[in-house]
């Protein structure tokens, strides 16, 4: 009996077909339906099927019968392909075995035969980074990652982890480079996704160990089912989380992702950090070269870093400059949240300058002081922003209980007339941006009330309540694909309303000035959120040393934040559709205003790593002066073992062959 790793079925029949592979107990996911003259291949390597099992193909004709192939094979990680051709008609077809192919061209020379690999497109969520034919492998374990990295080091390849690809900045893959033959992407989502709950022990609270390829959705669903939590909602959670649920944990940790929340007694005051997800790490395992490790030849190996060991802080946020396979993260008791959407307070009231006193009633700062959890979504050329206010509370009588996340259906699936209007704006009449903003606001108001084209079709989502994740997740992959700049402005919470007033005034002034020139560079909303900062306070140490915090987190506390009493970050993002004319001019001008306006001792500007920053008219990440300023920002008022050069040196120390680099990280860490 022949040994194979993959089975290919070529459709030469007169119908649409699909197939699976089975050993009689375990069955692979389907190939999916495909038409005549096409073929599909199923690779057994990413599955949990044990090597040595006897397997065979089972073919299904669309609207017809299902048949098993006669030939059977032994599953082995040998790269070989059993090839079938399916011929005949719907009521009478045959599955004809044609032979076994070694298919040597489908693998780079010498690549470990037990790891499946193929050339795939890298396409980020905004479709602004689109690179075809990148070698992409799917390891079945962390040990496979080690083997792939050692192969890469020996063959002159660079290595990047690949998750959901929901990232704007080219930290992984740079578009437009001439040759991708020496880049290896490692897909973490296939097998590096195990999740294990860890009860409280040794003065360390409950935590969760999770593979970096697991999605935030899977993680939050898992935590919600765990026993032992004493919160108002079942299981466990985090103080806040990013809005998209389809992100990998590894991607979230690499760029210190966040949601929106600051501690607000008495109801919302968990005894833990309200900073980024990265600051919740208790330990992590990375694939590194370790001069002091068990292998003196400096080959790549797995090493676990624990909170309390100083070098761990270099890996907690590392922009993809390291390969982390697993993290252990502190959790808290789960809780319920009400999310109230407010669209009847005008921008003049929400963004009103405080004039030296406390925030005025119904301003952003006023809502922040009341609940600690706000988000502003302001469509350009409109007067009434969409304000979300979350409250940690029992269910109000007016709220609708939601039992799942992503409850804003109207924003997740845009009708054809919206996408058609976008096409007109981009290609022929940008002045329609003004009407587009008002239309999006009108759709938002109708959608929040459950109305589609004036008819009550959906449940209202203006006032919803439920388990934390069900109101904190609200961005799906089908949401309008936009590009965005992003900055964290570190300051004292008392200055938030003034900062919002200054920013929104500048934003509106610039929009008006560009409009006067018949230029409409921004056609999507701006967003404002607020979080706490990252410090070791309220976080346990695993080893007993100082808990520390991620060294290059956008939220990192240091001597400057302490001296100036900065305790929050206001996140400002301005969104627009990719390809919009004059957007880069607008972003460049706005960034210059940010850096000149928010200065110490009142505030400091730090980039949101996953978004756009360092603008020139040539685009984001092209302003070397801004990049140099980033490095200086993480160096001034820092100890020699806690600055940008130290971060760079630690990551280089554990990557002796310099394989974890992209063009952008090379610029940053050099």
Which residues make beta-bridge pairs with 491?
Answer: 568, 603
Q: Which of 107, 140, 166, 549 is the catalytic position?
A: 166
Residue 596, C-beta contacts closer than 8 angstroms, at least 6 positions apart: none
To the query of whether residue 527 is one of the catalytic residues in this protein, the response is yes
Q: Which of 224, 326, 375, 647 is the catalytic position?
A: 375
Tokens representing 545?
Answer: 């040393």
Which residue from 343, 370, 392, 385 is spatially nearest to 240, judged by alpha carbons?
Answer: 392
How far apart (Å, rounded) are the C-alpha atoms in residues 614 and 594? 12
To the query of whether residue 311 is one of the catalytic residues in this protein, the response is no
Tokens representing 289?
Answer: 């070269």
Q: In three state form, how does the secondary structure of 61-79 look?
A: ECCCCEEECCCCEEECCCC
b/e map of 126-143 (b: 16 or more CB within 10 Å)?
Answer: bebbebeebbbbbbbebe
Contact status, residue 213 vs residue 189, Cβ threshold 8 Å:
yes
To the query of whether residue 592 is one of the catalytic residues in this protein, the response is no
- Please tell me what DSSP assigns to residue 637: T
Q: Which of 326, 527, 591, 647 is the catalytic position?
A: 527
Contact status, residue 433 vs residue 521, Cβ threshold 8 Å:
no
To the query of whether residue 529 is one of the catalytic residues in this protein, the response is yes
Cα dist from 180 to 119, 152, 154, 165, 323, whole Å: 10, 13, 17, 17, 19
Which residue from 241, 255, 248 is spatially nearest to 168, judged by alpha carbons?
Answer: 255
Q: In three state form, how does the secondary structure of 281-304 look?
A: EEEEEEEECCCCCCCCCCCCEEEE
Number of residues written out for the chain: 670
b/e map of 634-651 (b: 16 or more CB within 10 Å)?
Answer: beebbeeebbbebbbebb
Which residues make beta-bridge pairs with 208?
Answer: 197, 329
219's enclosing H/E stretch is helix 216-224
631's enclosing H/E stretch is helix 624-633
Beta strands per DSSP E along 80-234: 81-89, 92-101, 117-123, 130-137, 158-162, 183-187, 195-198, 207-211
Contact status, residue 63 vs residue 90, Cβ threshold 8 Å:
yes
* Angle at the Cα of 296 from the Cα atoms of 294 and 298, rounded to 5 degrees: 100
Contact status, residue 259 vs residue 474, Cβ threshold 8 Å:
no
How far apart (Å, rounded) are the C-alpha atoms in residues 579 and 513? 20
Q: Which of 529, 549, 591, 647 is the catalytic position?
A: 529
How far apart (Å, rounded) are the C-alpha atoms in residues 590 and 526? 13
Please give the positions annotated as active site. Answer: 166, 375, 527, 529
């Amino acid at each position: 009996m022949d040994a194979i790793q993959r089975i290919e079925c070529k459709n030469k029949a007169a119908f649409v077909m699909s197939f699976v592979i089975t050993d009689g107990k375990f069955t692979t996911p389907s190939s999916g339906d495909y038409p005549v003259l096409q073929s599909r291949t199923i690779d057994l390597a990413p599955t949990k099927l044990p090597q040595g099992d006897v397997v065979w193909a089972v073919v299904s004709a669309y609207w017809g019968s299902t048949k098993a192939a006669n030939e059977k094979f032994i599953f082995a990680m040998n790269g070989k392909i059993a090839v079938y051709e399916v011929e005949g008609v719907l009521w009478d077809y045959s599955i004809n075995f044609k032979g076994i192919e070694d298919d040597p061209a489908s693998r780079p020379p010498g690549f470990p035969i037990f790891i499946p690999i193929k050339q795939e497109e890298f396409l980020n969520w905004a479709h602004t980074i689109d690179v075809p034919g990148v070698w992409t492998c799917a390891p079945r374990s962390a040990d496979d990652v080690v083997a792939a990295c050692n192969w890469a080091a020996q063959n002159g390849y660079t290595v990047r982890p690949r998750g959901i690809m929901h990232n704007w900045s080219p930290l992984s893959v740079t578009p437009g480079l001439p040759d991708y033959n020496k880049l290896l992407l490692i897909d973490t989502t296939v097998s590096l996704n195990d999740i294990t709950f860890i009860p409280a022990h040794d003065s360390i609270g409950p935590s969760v160990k999770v593979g970096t390829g697991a999605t935030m959705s899977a993680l939050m669903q898992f935590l919600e089912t765990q026993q032992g939590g004493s919160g108002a909602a079942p299981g466990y959670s985090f103080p806040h989380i990013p809005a998209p649920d389809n992100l990998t944990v590894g991607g979230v940790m690499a760029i210190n992702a966040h949601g929106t929340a600051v501690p607000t007694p008495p109801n919302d005051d968990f005894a833990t950090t309200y900073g980024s997800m990265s600051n919740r790490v208790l330990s992590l395992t990375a694939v590194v070269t370790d001069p002091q490790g068990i292998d003196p030849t400096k080959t790549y190996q797995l090493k676990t870093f624990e909170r309390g060991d100083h070098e761990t802080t270099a890996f907690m946020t590392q922009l993809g400059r390291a390969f982390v396979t697993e993290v252990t993260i502190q959790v808290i008791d789960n809780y319920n949240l009400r999310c109230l959407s407010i669209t009847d307070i005008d921008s003049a009231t929400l963004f009103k300058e405080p004039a030296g006193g406390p925030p005025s009633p119904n301003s952003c700062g006023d809502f922040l002081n009341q609940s600690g959890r706000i988000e502003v979504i302001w469509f350009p050329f409109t007067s009434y922003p969409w304000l979300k206010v979350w409250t940690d509370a029992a269910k109000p009588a007016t709220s609708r209980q939601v039992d799942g996340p992503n409850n804003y259906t109207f924003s997740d699936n845009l009708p054809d007339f919206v996408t058609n209007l976008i096409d007109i704006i981009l290609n022929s009449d940008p002045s329609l941006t003004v009407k587009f903003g008002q239309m999006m606001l009108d759709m938002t108001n109708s959608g929040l009330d459950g109305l589609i084209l004036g008819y009550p079709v959906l449940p209202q989502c203006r006032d919803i309540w439920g388990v934390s994740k069900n109101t904190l997740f609200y961005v799906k992959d089908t949401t309008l694909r936009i590009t965005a700049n992003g900055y964290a402005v570190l300051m004292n919470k008392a200055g938030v309303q003034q900062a919002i007033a200054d920013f929104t005034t500048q934003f509106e002034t610039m929009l008006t000035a560009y409009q006067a020139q018949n230029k409409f560079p921004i056609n999507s909303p701006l967003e404002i959120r607020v979080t706490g900062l990252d410090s070791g306070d309220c976080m346990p140490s695993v080893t007993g040393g100082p808990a520390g915090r991620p060294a290059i987190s956008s939220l990192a506390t240091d001597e400057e934040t302490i001296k100036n009493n900065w305790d929050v970050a206001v996140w400002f993002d301005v969104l627009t559709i990719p390809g919009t004319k004059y957007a880069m001019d607008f972003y460049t001008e706005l960034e210059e205003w940010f850096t000149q306006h928010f200065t110490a001792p009142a505030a400091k500007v730090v980039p949101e790593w996953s978004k756009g920053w360092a603008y020139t008219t040539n685009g984001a990440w092209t302003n070397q002066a801004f990049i140099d300023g980033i490095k200086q920002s993480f160096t001034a008022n820092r100890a020699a073992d806690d600055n940008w050069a130290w971060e760079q040196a630690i990551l280089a120390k554990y990557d002796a062959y310099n394989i974890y680099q992209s063009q952008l990280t090379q610029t940053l860490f050099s």
